[in-house]
Amino acid sequence: MLAPAVSLWMDQTEHLRVSRESVRAPLDVDVAIIGAGYTGLWTAWYLKQHAPELNIAIFEAQHVGYGASGRNGGWLLGRILGEEKMLAGWPEPERGALMAELKGIPDSVEQVLVQEGIDCGYRKGGVLTCAARYPEQQQWLLDELKALYAHGHSEEDYRLLSAHELSQQLRMHQAYGAIYSPHCATIHPAQLALGLATSLERKGVRIYEDSRVQAWRKGVLTVAGHPVCAQWVVPCVEGYATETKALRDYQLTVQSLQIATEPLSVSQWDEIGLHNGQAAHESSRQVTYFHRTRDDRLVFGARGSYRFGGKLREQFRLTEDEVKLRRDLMLDLFPQLAKTPISHGWGGNLGMTRHFRPYMLCDEAGGVACAGGYGGEGVGASYLAGRTLADLILKRDTLLSRAPWVVRNQSLRKALRRWEPEPLRWLGYSAVIAAFSYEDAVLANPRSSALRRKLSSKAAAGISRLMSPEFKVG
């Protein structure tokens, strides 16, 4: 198995990569963006869209797409983490308009891709949330559907599929049914990041690589040892927040890991399905997510991890155990792949706020705008964040700039809830994972008694409330 330096996606786009200069002298810009992932790139794109005269520079510690944006599972979702809670009680008609905006994220991204000529394998095949492996997932699916309808979604947005209906799209061992939503596309993550960078450079945005921002305060940054003056500082570092003093207590770093098979044959895919670029996952408390790549691999991600102190993971050479855990889960669903080699394994850092919801913040007095806390749902959310930060910086009064996830004229310290100090975070995380893993093992074992099944689920649900009912690891 290959251990790519960054990811399968980055290996596949090696030929598209250009090396960019690093900062070698003092600079003066209007907007200094920290991080060349989707959030930074989309923010620059929308700033240029509304104010082409702006002098914008992006400073990236490594290279474009080095972070989660060049490593993710390729799901471009038309939703954001915790949207139900954030929109609950929000006045109409804005609430309905914001829900439509979120569902429309894949289509809005596609419009830009077409406009900019970015080929990143965009396929809008929707997403299947499947009940599989054990029958309890059927009830969880129904509970989820009920909550989605209570939030205001319709059957056009989320539709229950019987096992037979699911089998017309995806065939898995022990599948009981699914919820299908059309609001998701799959993309090639690195092609999106590199494509956006190229289009920004055409518009005059300067992107500096190997240019770590070592410090920043109002109006001035230190980048690779050089001073940079900027009216606006826009940190877009998501999973790397742990290295940034101003963010580290609010945006926790966690990891997600994935494996990819060698390309499967036509007959293997005929057996599995997923012919339209659908994304799919299980409705278990622990996350598994997968899709069929453009070059016919099955990319499979599952479970997450947390390192004491929110420590960043730099090296994603997966251990045998890390690969085995994901491969075993994949084989539970697709036993016919037992002889298929795993070609790649990798992972990345992502960011979580204490509320398990993203935020988009603009502090005019401090000259800072930033966004993050997308959890494992950041491909679409970072697009929304880029658009929203541009509106906020340019003082555009729009639907997005008034959304409930927007924080205006407050510092991070005032706006976000602090994570508990260690060892509480680590203990909380470990307890939740232990309870989830125990529940999963009990439920996946057909010989487990009804009482044991019930108790394990009660324990998992109860203990997860320690963190948040929305807590998922993936």
Ligand X SMILES: Cc1cc2nc3c(=O)[nH]c(=O)nc-3n(C[C@H](O)[C@H](O)[C@H](O)COP(=O)(O)OP(=O)(O)OC[C@H]3O[C@@H](n4cnc5c(N)ncnc54)[C@H](O)[C@@H]3O)c2cc1C
Q: What is the DSSP code string of 369-433?
A: EEEE--TT-HHHHHHHHHHHHHHHHTT---TGGGSTTEEES--HHHHSPPPPPTTHHHHHHHHHH
* CA–CA distances in Å: residue 190 to residues 8, 9, 80, 247: 9, 5, 21, 26
Query: In this structure, which amino acid lies at residue 156?
Result: E
Q: Indicate the residue among 134 and 405 with the shorter CB distance to ligand X.
A: 405
Residue 429 token pair: 């995380």
Stretch that binds ligand X, among 11-19, 56-64, 93-101, 400-408 (CB under 6 A): 56-64
Is residue 66 part of the contact set for ligand X (CB under 6 A)? yes
- Among positions 187-226, residues that touch ligand X (CB under 6 A) are 212-213
Is residue 378 part of the contact set for ligand X (CB under 6 A)? yes
Q: Indicate the residue among 158 and 290 with the shorter CB distance to ligand X.
A: 290
Q: Which of 4, 379, 365 is nearest to 188 (CA)?
A: 379
Is residue 374 part of the contact set for ligand X (CB under 6 A)? yes
* Cβ partners under 8 Å of residue 14, min gap 6: none
Stretch that binds ligand X, among 259-267, 347-355, 395-403, 420-428 (CB under 6 A): 347-355
CB of residue 164 vs ligand X: minimum separation in angstroms? 28
Indicate which single residue of 29, 45, 48, 67 sits in contact with ligand X (rule: CB under 6 A): 67
- Among positions 103-122, residues that touch ligand X (CB under 6 A) are none
Is residue 37 part of the contact set for ligand X (CB under 6 A)? yes
Indicate which single residue of 45, 46, 59, 122 sits in contact with ligand X (rule: CB under 6 A): 59
Is residue 264 part of the contact set for ligand X (CB under 6 A)? no
Is residue 73 part of the contact set for ligand X (CB under 6 A)? yes
Indicate which single residue of 8, 29, 33, 39 sits in contact with ligand X (rule: CB under 6 A): 39
* Spatial separation of the C-alpha atoms in residues 234 and 220, rounded to whole Å: 11
Whose tokens are 């639907």? That residue is 399
* Spatial separation of the C-alpha atoms in residues 442 and 445, rounded to whole Å: 5
Size of the site for ligand X (CB under 6 A): 43
Pair 1, 345: CB distance under 8 Å: yes
Q: Indicate the residue among 146 and 218 with the shorter CB distance to ligand X.
A: 218
Pair 360, 406: CB distance under 8 Å: yes
Stretch that binds ligand X, among 32-40, 84-92, 156-164, 453-461 (CB under 6 A): 32-40
Is residue 379 part of the contact set for ligand X (CB under 6 A)? yes
* Spatial separation of the C-alpha atoms in residues 161 and 379, rounded to whole Å: 26
Q: Which residues bind ligand X (CB under 6 A)?
A: 34-40, 59-62, 66-69, 71-75, 77, 212-213, 236-240, 243, 256, 258, 301, 347-348, 350, 372, 374, 376-380, 382
